[in-house]
Protein backbone atom coordinates (compact mmCIF):
# COMPACT_ATOMS: atom_id res chain seq x y z
CA UNK A 1 0.00 0.00 0.00
CA UNK A 2 1.35 3.43 -0.87
CA UNK A 3 2.33 5.94 1.79
CA UNK A 4 -0.30 8.34 0.47
CA UNK A 5 -3.09 5.84 0.90
CA UNK A 6 -1.83 5.02 4.39
CA UNK A 7 -1.87 8.73 5.22
CA UNK A 8 -5.40 9.21 3.89
CA UNK A 9 -6.70 6.19 5.82
CA UNK A 10 -4.84 7.27 8.96
CA UNK A 11 -6.37 10.75 8.82
CA UNK A 12 -9.85 9.55 7.84
CA UNK A 13 -10.34 6.92 10.56
CA UNK A 14 -10.28 9.24 13.59
CA UNK A 15 -12.43 11.79 11.75
CA UNK A 16 -14.93 9.01 11.03
CA UNK A 17 -14.86 8.02 14.71
CA UNK A 18 -15.50 11.65 15.62
CA UNK A 19 -18.36 11.86 13.16
CA UNK A 20 -20.00 8.80 14.68
CA UNK A 21 -19.63 10.33 18.14
CA UNK A 22 -21.04 13.64 16.93
CA UNK A 23 -24.17 11.83 15.77
CA UNK A 24 -24.99 11.08 19.42
CA UNK A 25 -23.67 14.35 20.79
CA UNK A 26 -25.46 16.86 18.55
CA UNK A 27 -28.98 15.84 19.54
CA UNK A 28 -28.21 15.65 23.27
CA UNK A 29 -26.17 18.85 23.76
CA UNK A 30 -29.10 21.24 23.47
CA UNK A 31 -31.57 18.96 25.23
CA UNK A 32 -30.43 16.49 27.89
CA UNK A 33 -26.91 17.87 28.41
CA UNK A 34 -28.24 21.43 28.80
CA UNK A 35 -30.29 20.30 31.82
CA UNK A 36 -27.30 18.90 33.72
CA UNK A 37 -25.51 20.71 36.51
CA UNK A 38 -21.94 21.30 35.35
CA UNK A 39 -18.85 22.55 37.14
CA UNK A 40 -17.87 26.20 36.77
CA UNK A 41 -14.88 25.17 34.65
CA UNK A 42 -17.03 23.44 32.00
CA UNK A 43 -15.95 24.89 28.64
CA UNK A 44 -18.52 26.30 26.20
CA UNK A 45 -20.08 23.68 23.93
CA UNK A 46 -18.75 25.32 20.75
CA UNK A 47 -15.15 24.57 21.84
CA UNK A 48 -15.44 20.79 21.70
CA UNK A 49 -15.85 20.43 17.91
CA UNK A 50 -12.71 22.37 16.90
CA UNK A 51 -10.62 20.79 19.67
CA UNK A 52 -11.66 17.26 18.72
CA UNK A 53 -11.13 17.91 15.01
CA UNK A 54 -7.59 19.11 15.72
CA UNK A 55 -6.88 16.19 18.05
CA UNK A 56 -8.17 13.70 15.47
CA UNK A 57 -5.73 15.15 12.92
CA UNK A 58 -2.85 14.73 15.38
CA UNK A 59 -3.99 11.17 16.15
CA UNK A 60 -4.18 10.38 12.44
CA UNK A 61 -0.66 11.64 11.83
CA UNK A 62 0.57 9.59 14.79
CA UNK A 63 -1.11 6.49 13.36
CA UNK A 64 0.47 7.13 9.98
CA UNK A 65 3.93 7.51 11.49
CA UNK A 66 3.57 4.17 13.26
CA UNK A 67 2.08 2.46 10.22
CA UNK A 68 4.86 3.57 7.86
CA UNK A 69 7.63 2.81 10.36
CA UNK A 70 9.95 -0.16 10.21
CA UNK A 71 9.28 -0.93 13.87
CA UNK A 72 9.14 -4.74 14.20
CA UNK A 73 6.04 -4.73 16.45
CA UNK A 74 4.10 -1.99 14.69
CA UNK A 75 1.07 -4.30 14.28
CA UNK A 76 0.80 -4.47 18.09
CA UNK A 77 1.00 -0.68 18.27
CA UNK A 78 -1.66 -0.30 15.60
CA UNK A 79 -3.94 -2.68 17.52
CA UNK A 80 -3.44 -0.56 20.64
CA UNK A 81 -4.25 2.54 18.57
CA UNK A 82 -7.38 0.81 17.23
CA UNK A 83 -8.45 -0.08 20.78
CA UNK A 84 -8.24 3.51 21.97
CA UNK A 85 -10.06 4.67 18.84
CA UNK A 86 -12.91 2.20 19.48
CA UNK A 87 -13.14 3.38 23.10
CA UNK A 88 -13.10 6.99 21.91
CA UNK A 89 -15.96 6.19 19.53
CA UNK A 90 -17.96 4.45 22.27
CA UNK A 91 -17.78 7.33 24.74
CA UNK A 92 -20.34 9.58 23.01
CA UNK A 93 -23.00 6.86 22.71
CA UNK A 94 -22.39 5.93 26.35
CA UNK A 95 -22.45 9.47 27.74
CA UNK A 96 -24.79 11.29 25.35
CA UNK A 97 -26.66 8.48 23.62
CA UNK A 98 -27.47 6.58 26.81
CA UNK A 99 -27.62 9.87 28.75
CA UNK A 100 -25.37 8.32 31.36
CA UNK A 101 -22.35 10.04 32.88
CA UNK A 102 -21.69 6.76 34.72
CA UNK A 103 -21.46 4.76 31.48
CA UNK A 104 -19.36 7.56 30.01
CA UNK A 105 -16.95 7.27 32.93
CA UNK A 106 -16.83 3.50 32.50
CA UNK A 107 -15.65 4.06 28.91
CA UNK A 108 -13.39 7.08 29.36
CA UNK A 109 -11.23 5.59 32.13
CA UNK A 110 -10.06 2.65 29.97
CA UNK A 111 -9.74 5.09 27.05
CA UNK A 112 -7.43 7.26 29.15
CA UNK A 113 -5.34 4.20 30.09
CA UNK A 114 -5.14 3.10 26.44
CA UNK A 115 -3.94 6.57 25.40
CA UNK A 116 -1.23 6.48 28.07
CA UNK A 117 -0.10 3.12 26.71
CA UNK A 118 -0.02 4.58 23.19
CA UNK A 119 2.12 7.51 24.34
CA UNK A 120 4.54 5.15 26.10
CA UNK A 121 4.68 2.40 23.47
CA UNK A 122 4.70 4.69 20.42
CA UNK A 123 7.88 6.35 21.67
CA UNK A 124 9.92 3.28 20.74
CA UNK A 125 8.70 3.33 17.14
CA UNK A 126 8.35 7.09 16.66
CA UNK A 127 9.00 9.74 19.31
CA UNK A 128 7.05 12.20 17.15
CA UNK A 129 3.99 9.89 17.06
CA UNK A 130 4.19 9.60 20.83
CA UNK A 131 4.38 13.38 21.19
CA UNK A 132 1.41 13.89 18.87
CA UNK A 133 -0.71 11.77 21.22
CA UNK A 134 0.12 13.94 24.28
CA UNK A 135 -2.39 16.76 23.55
CA UNK A 136 -5.06 14.06 23.16
CA UNK A 137 -4.03 12.54 26.48
CA UNK A 138 -4.24 15.95 28.17
CA UNK A 139 -7.69 16.64 26.68
CA UNK A 140 -9.02 13.22 27.68
CA UNK A 141 -7.58 13.76 31.18
CA UNK A 142 -9.59 16.98 31.33
CA UNK A 143 -12.65 15.24 29.84
CA UNK A 144 -12.36 12.48 32.44
CA UNK A 145 -12.34 15.05 35.24
CA UNK A 146 -15.31 16.81 33.63
CA UNK A 147 -17.21 13.54 33.19
CA UNK A 148 -16.53 12.70 36.85
CA UNK A 149 -17.67 16.14 38.03
CA UNK A 150 -20.88 15.92 36.01
CA UNK A 151 -21.57 12.47 37.43
CA UNK A 152 -21.04 13.73 40.99
CA UNK A 153 -23.14 16.89 40.49
CA UNK A 154 -26.07 15.02 38.99
d(CA 107, CA 141): 13
- pLDDT for 27 equals 86
Non-local (6+) Cβ contacts of 80 within 8 A are 114, 117, 118, 121
139 burial via Cβ count (<10 Å: 0-12, 13-18, 19+): middle
Degrees, nearest 5: CA angle 106-110-129: 145
**Residue ranges of the chain whose pLDDT lies below 70:** none
pTM for the predicted model, two decimal places:
0.95
- pLDDT for 15 equals 97
- Phi, psi of 66, rounded to the nearest 5 degrees: -70, -45
Non-local (6+) Cβ contacts of 132 within 8 A are 58, 59, 61, 62, 65
User: What domains are there in the chain, each with its CATH number?
Assistant: 3-153 (1.20.1260.100)
- pLDDT for 138 equals 98
Degrees, nearest 5: CA angle 57-118-111: 85
Amino acid sequence: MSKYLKLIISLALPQLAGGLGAFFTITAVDSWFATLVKPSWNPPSWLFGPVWTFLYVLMGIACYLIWKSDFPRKETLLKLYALQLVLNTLWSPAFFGMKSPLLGLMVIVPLWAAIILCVIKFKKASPLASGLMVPYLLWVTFATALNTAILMLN
